[in-house]
Structure 1
Amino acid sequence: MNAKQLQNVPDKFTKEFTTLSPFSGQVIPISQVDEPFFKKGYMGPGAAVTSTSNIVVSPFDGKVLSVTPLDYAIDIQSKAGLKCRVKYGGDTSHLHGAQFGCSLTSGDAISTKQPLFTVNSAWLKQRGVSNICVLTVLNSQALLGVLPTHQRFVEAGTDVLFTLYL
């Protein structure tokens, strides 16, 4: 378990920031994600959402840092400096980017609710790829921690997926 992954609001903190969900569906703890790098917290603290949605949206205003279609992932940075990875599915590298659509490139400006990428969730499910979207904080060193939402279901770009505490 990642030490920055909180179970409760910290007793003392200076600031709190909310991050919207990039995906609509049912919230699951990151510890229940099949992929070991996320499950063990190597990719930072965060949360996951499972659904059959085909669109992943930006959780905030900011810019694109990198797009890795082989892994169905995009790294983004908020205007406040928060760096996050948005990843769809479990092990997707063997699919070589098939059924993944992203027109963004490094440096592109993004806005809240803007589509980051699309996936063919039905096609991926037929190939054994889980319909899960993970959002993790890559630069969590200065944070007290990340507290996932207590909501069971979230709407992309509308509902908070987690709160960051400084």
Structure 2
Amino acid sequence: MWTTNPVNAKQLQYAPDTFSKQFETLTPFSGQVVPLAQTDDPFFKNGYMGPGAAVTSTSNTIVAPFVGKVLNVSPLDYAIDIQSKVGLKCRIKYGGDTCHLHGAQFKCALKRGDTFNVSQTLFTVNSAWLKQQGVSNVCALTLLNANALIGIVPTRQKFVDAATDPLLTLYL
């Protein structure tokens, strides 16, 4: 069940009554949708990285949810900050606590400033190896500049396919 987080009042259960535009952000990862509150990363779980959603899976590829450019890649390749052509800024991160792995089994396909198309590979992981290391197979997508939006509604689908199904609906 999705709930409104006081830290991120932008995350809604239903569409707002009034809005001027509506956009959908595709999912970067195939699997089962889970609320951020059910992830084991405290920054995502408590809403400090913005509103969003997560997907659990054993997939090894994280793809672009829209056309855009790379703002930043974590030094250990497990997270990437991206921006859409309309200005939406997102962080996509794989796994919970991954710092202790020193980037092992993560490979980012892009660098800061690169542009990408929808469904293009952003980074890959070795999900089986990471699971053996105790890292959860969850990929989180959060909105870094959600303050410009009226609200965000996560998908109600239980399972999603990467770059095909919407993960978030955004309202301006």
TM-score range, shorter chain: over 0.9
RMSD (Å), alpha carbons = 0.8
Alpha-carbon separation, structure 2, partners of 1:36 and 1:100? 21
Please point out which of 147, 168, 172 is paired with 1:162: 168
Task: Work out the number of aligned pairs and report it.
Answer: 166
Matched-pair contact (CA < 8 Å) for 1:71–1:91: no
1:43 aligns with 2:49: yes
Q: Match of 2:146, SS?
A: coil
Quote the offset at 1:31 in angstroms.
Answer: 1.2
Alpha-carbon separation, structure 2, partners of 1:36 and 1:119? 21
Quote the offset at 1:70 in angstroms.
Answer: 2.2
Q: Match of 1:7, SS?
A: coil
Please point out which of 87, 97, 104 is paired with 1:98: 104
Question: Which residue in 1 is equivalent to 2:15?
Answer: 9
Question: Which residue in 1 is equivalent to 2:73?
Answer: 67
Alpha-carbon separation, structure 2, partners of 1:102 and 1:48? 19
Alpha-carbon separation, structure 2, partners of 1:80 and 1:103? 23
Alpha-carbon separation, structure 2, partners of 1:85 and 1:61? 14
Alpha-carbon separation, structure 1, partners of 2:63 and 2:121? 4
Quote the offset at 1:69 in angstroms.
Answer: 4.3
Report % sequence identity.
71
Matched-pair contact (CA < 8 Å) for 1:88–1:133: yes
**Aligned residue runs from structure 1 range 5-154, under 5 A:** 5-70=11-76, 72-154=78-160
Query: Cα 1:123–1:69, aligned 2, differ >3 Å: closer, same or farther?
Result: farther
Unaligned runs of 5+ in 1: none
Alpha-carbon separation, structure 1, partners of 2:41 and 2:108? 22
Query: Cα 1:106–1:71, aligned 2, differ >3 Å: closer, same or farther?
Result: closer
Task: Give the TM-score of the pair, scaled to structure 2.
Answer: 0.95
Task: Give the TM-score of the pair, scaled to structure 1.
Answer: 0.98
Matched-pair contact (CA < 8 Å) for 1:71–1:87: no
